[in-house]
Structure 1
Amino acid sequence: MTNFQEPIYDVAQLAHVELLSPKLEESVEFFTRFLGMEVTAREGKSVYLRAYEDFYHNTLKITGAEHAGVGHLGWRASSPQALYRRVKEIEKTGLGIGWIDGDIGHGRAYQFTNPDGHKMEIFWEVEYYQAAEENKSKLLNRPSKRPDRGVPVRRLDHINLMTSNPAKDTQFMMDALGFRLREQIKDNGNVLGSWISVSNLVHEIAYMQEPNQEKGKLHHLCYWYGIPQNLYDVADLLKDHGYTIEVPPNKHGVSQAFCMYVHEPGGNRIELFGDSGYLILDPAWEPVVWEMEDVPGNGDTWIGTAFPDSWWLIGTPVTNKEVVKP
């Protein structure tokens, strides 16, 4: 353990994600009607939502736009002091944008990008969700009742971004924000994918290679159920209402999580987790490295059907180049 580095715990969690959608109201209906999420605010072209076990005012912001994709993602710092420590480190990279006063659901935030151009922000002050009396759960550790519609997701889990350089973006998150490498896919030494976290989860964020070296794309956003059976239930519901399931209920080898993938009406890929896979409790964890030749049928799908080419090649916004397999 001669290379062991002192962990940095200045980032606590993924707090929210902004999705861009050319079909705003249809996207909102998907998340509310079928995934049971609740609209907590509307402002301009944006709608704010939360799952029933999300403690914050919102974890999802959907903004009307010409193309699908990710607008930004927000990280919550672990303390006010941690926020300023991370801002100082981010500014050293030259990728800082600057401070904003805040947004619905959170206070003052520092905005920046990763090397690939994905926009992010970090903050400390948040607004906690306050349920109306009729929506309070009898479970005092649950912020609101379990919804009576769709197959309701429980909380925000993670985001996966497509990038022109997974190795560079991974290193940025580790150096500037204190993320730790959990699993990785390589091909002859080249990093094709990384799963990194600041907690005992396998990942709060993952990076995948964009096949045409294009920048700033979204691969998927994930919400969590906790029970694999929920995936069969929601797949049945979505299929019956005309949605195409890209990857039916399945199990990943990387992360060992039970998963499925569907595209919401705006075009963004949404992953639904049936469990959290395994947890990392070892403080001296050694990253698990997969060679690409071992991934198909093992790393991508451990139990289930093979993943289609679209899963490997297409992110949002979609471009014409992506229909050609490199």
Structure 2
Amino acid sequence: MRREAQRSDGMTLHDPDRRRDVAHVGPIELFTPVLDASRDFFVDLMGLREVRRDDTSVYLHTWDDYQSWTVRLVERAAAGIGRTYLRAAGPQAAVRLRAEVEAEGLGHGVVDDVPGLGEVFLFTDPDGHEFGLYWDVDWYEPDDTDRPALKNQAARYPGRGANVRRLDHVNYLTADVPATSAFLRDVLGARCTEQIVKDDGSPQAIWYNVGNKTYDLVYTEDWTGSHGRLHHIAFATDTREEILRAADVCLDAGVHIETGPHKHAIQQTFFLYVYEPGGNRIELCNAGARLILAPDWKTISWTREERAKGQAWGLKTIESFHTHGTPVVP
């Protein structure tokens, strides 16, 4: 296993020569105790499209996702996150990643029954969150009701609600941030772009990317000490204006707005946080044109004193942002 280099001050650096074997975050599964209400939230207010349904779940598609589906809503007694699927950068990349994960003892075999995906290698991160690694995938095929005018676009612009374009990132809760950070870095080959550090210098929250986006996989310390919980999933919009419109849409629909619209200091993301009917936190975000293009990017660390200043424009972080996660625990 290839380990990352260390600076003289102890900060871990991404190895720019390491092969990037994860292409991007793929579809996700989201648990909800109110399947139909959650479906209506995502379709009517967020602008997703229902593309498939079975007895216990609904499959939804964001309008510019090249894959056949983006989110699978699964009916469960409690809200939370199911599998997060990662697309490998190629067939051999999938083989290499599987070997790395199995060497850690975190592999759980292969399945071939996930709609729209080929062979999927199942594994968990050190905290117990479920993942699926795949290469083969069905591309989205629009019909006459959502065929785009531009053939390089997956589907027609929906023109309703928040008009979210794609899934942007997943933010998990974890009982052990350092162990999860090492797994992302050493096994998946991801890169830590920013982090929050405690007074002793250990990470409390980490933002990792697998490509050139600023971040794809985020882990925050779970104050309850629980395992496998979700902080939020995030969808990207084209512009800040669509987030402002989404706030009005959610207000009129009676959706709980937790905080925002506002701008984060970390990653500079313009954001709005709401709760979907099942209880999961949903972020609408727009990071503009900010990308991480430097192959030798050095992790940006934020201290407690810096975080105490609030978000980018001074708004203090609401308390529930630190305490609410799904499934909810006492």
Equivalents in 2 of 1:232, 1:277: separation in Å? 18
2:168 aligns with: 157
Deviates more, 1:305-314 or 1:216-225: 305-314
How much does 1:100 deviate?
0.6
1:308 aligns with: 318
Equivalents in 2 of 1:318, 1:204: separation in Å? 24
Amino acid in the other structure paired with 1:306: K
Equivalents in 1 of 2:254, 2:145: separation in Å? 33
- Provide Cα deviations, 1:130-180, integer angstroms capped at 9, x if missing partner: 001342111121111111432210111000000001111111011111101
Query: Are 2:243 and 1:231 aligned?
Result: yes
State how 1:1-326 maps to structure 2 within 5 Å. 3=6, 5=15, 6-188=17-199, 189-276=201-288, 278-298=290-310, 301-303=311-313, 305-320=315-330
Equivalents in 2 of 1:107, 1:134: separation in Å? 27
Equivalents in 1 of 2:93, 2:245: separation in Å? 41
Amino acid in the other structure paired with 2:223: P
Equivalents in 1 of 2:288, 2:329: separation in Å? 32
How much does 1:276 deviate?
4.3
Equivalents in 2 of 1:35, 1:269: separation in Å? 13
TM-score, normalised by the number of residues in structure 1: 0.94
Percent identity of paired positions between Structure 1 and Structure 2: 35
- Provide Cα deviations, 1:197-255, integer angstroms capped at 9, x if missing partner: 11111210100010121111000000000211111101011011111210121101110
- Provide Cα deviations, 1:32-81, integer angstroms capped at 9, x if missing partner: 00011001111220111111111110110100000000011000001011
The structure-2 alpha-carbon separation of the partners of 1:230 and 1:296, relative to structure 1 and needing over 3 Å to count, comes to farther
Q: Would you say the 8 A contact 1:22–1:68 is kept in 2?
A: yes
Q: Would you say the 8 A contact 2:60–2:72 is kept in 1?
A: yes
Q: Would you say the 8 A contact 1:229–1:274 is kept in 2?
A: no
- Provide Cα deviations, 1:75-100, integer angstroms capped at 9, x if missing partner: 00010110010000000001111111
Q: Would you say the 8 A contact 2:234–2:283 is kept in 1?
A: yes
TM-score, normalised by the number of residues in structure 2: 0.93
Question: Secondary structure, in 3 states, of the residue corresponding to 1:285?
Answer: coil
The structure with the largest helix share of the pair is 1
Q: Would you say the 8 A contact 1:258–1:277 is kept in 2?
A: no
Deviates more, 1:72-81 or 1:306-315: 306-315
- Structure 1 runs not aligned, ≥5 long: 321-326
Deviates more, 1:311-320 or 1:143-152: 143-152
Equivalents in 2 of 1:277, 1:184: separation in Å? 21
1:324 aligns with: none
Question: Secondary structure, in 3 states, of the residue corresponding to 2:86?
Answer: strand
Equivalents in 2 of 1:280, 1:164: separation in Å? 28
The structure-2 alpha-carbon separation of the partners of 1:261 and 1:195, relative to structure 1 and needing over 3 Å to count, comes to same
How much does 1:2 deviate?
7.2
Q: Would you say the 8 A contact 1:10–1:86 is kept in 2?
A: yes
- Structure 2 runs not aligned, ≥5 long: 7-12
Query: CA RMSD for the aligned pairs?
Result: 1.5
